[in-house]
Chain A
Amino acid sequence: EVVLTQSPGTLSLSPGERATLSCRASQSVSSSDLVWFQQKPGQSPRLLIYGASIRATGIPDRFSGGGSETDFTLTISRLEPEDFAVYYCQQYGSSLTFGGGTKVEIK
């Protein structure tokens, strides 16, 4: 089973700043299989990125994904107030797994 480790656990930033979130896999993951979600308190997860770098419908272009093999990144170029949330990476491979999440909080 592929283990996804997200870092940092918490990211404290101000609106307008750039956020860089990491997702590291215990073994190589196909870029096609890497997905990012956003979750706000009391809400269901929201799909942000699939195929490691393809924004889902309606997702602003300040969100971008990248990486390959074992290292993937979600970048939010300029944080808006509504972006403060928890972010999860997920891979669809031999078994489907989620990372532990990164909380982006207001500094």
Chain B
Amino acid sequence: QITLKESGPTLVKPTQTLTLTCTFSGFSLSTSAVGVGWIRQSPGKALEWLALIYWDDDKRYSPSLKSRLTITKDTSKNQVVLTMTNVDPVDTATYYCAHGKAWFGELSTTYYFDYWGQGTLVTVSS
């Protein structure tokens, strides 16, 4: 059974660095064709993908946020950490982590998020 849980501060001041941890069970990030992604959702808004780390330590970032994000994994602890620098009130959102599963299509390999954490609400305010 795959489960994921996000943890981190609920309140962060503008300009500070936000660090979020995703602790998971039921799979290993050292197993091929697996990834963990971070997605956020501002109140009342749509989902926004942030970053994705793969089993082989390859990483992908949202182009619009790439300069502010860092994603890392600790395979021994079954954790993925996302750091976001220089936060602003517009970064107030529920942050989700999700298990990425590879699917080998006809022409290429893709990943989709099949298990999600419950999300953690982060408020950026002074």
Listed in ascending order, the chain A residues whose CB lies under 8 Å from chain B are: 1, 30-33, 35, 37, 39, 44-47, 50-51, 56, 88, 90, 92, 95-101
Q: Known interface pairs A51-B103, A98-B48, A98-B49. Does A92 touch B116 (Cβ–Cβ under 8 Å)?
A: no
Q: Are B112 and A98 in contact (CB under 8 A)?
A: no
Tell me the smallest distance from the CB of B115 to a CB of chain A, in Å: 8
Cross-interface CB contact of A95 among B62, B96, B112, B113, cutoff 8 Å: B62
By CB atoms of chain A within 10 A, which of B52, B113, B118 has the most? B113
Hey, what's the 0/1 contact readout for B97-112 against A, CB within 8 Å counting as 1?
Answer: 0000001011110111
Cross-interface CB contact of A96 among B52, B105, B108, cutoff 8 Å: B52
Q: List 30 A-B contacts (CB under 8 A).
A: A32-B107, A33-B108, A33-B110, A35-B112, A37-B113, A39-B47, A44-B118, A45-B47, A46-B116, A47-B113, A47-B114, A50-B103, A50-B110, A50-B114, A51-B103, A90-B47, A90-B49, A90-B112, A92-B110, A95-B60, A95-B63, A96-B37, A96-B49, A96-B52, A96-B62, A97-B49, A98-B46, A98-B49, A99-B46, A101-B46
Query: Which 10 A-B pairs rank lowest in CB-CB distance, beginning with the nearest?
Result: A32-B105, A44-B116, A98-B47, A50-B112, A96-B49, A100-B46, A32-B110, A35-B112, A92-B110, A33-B110
Q: Are A32 and B108 in contact (CB under 8 A)?
A: yes
Hey, what's the 0/1 contact readout for B66-90 against A, CB within 8 Å counting as 1?
Answer: 0000000000000000000000000
Residues of B within 8 A of A32 (CB): 103, 105-108, 110
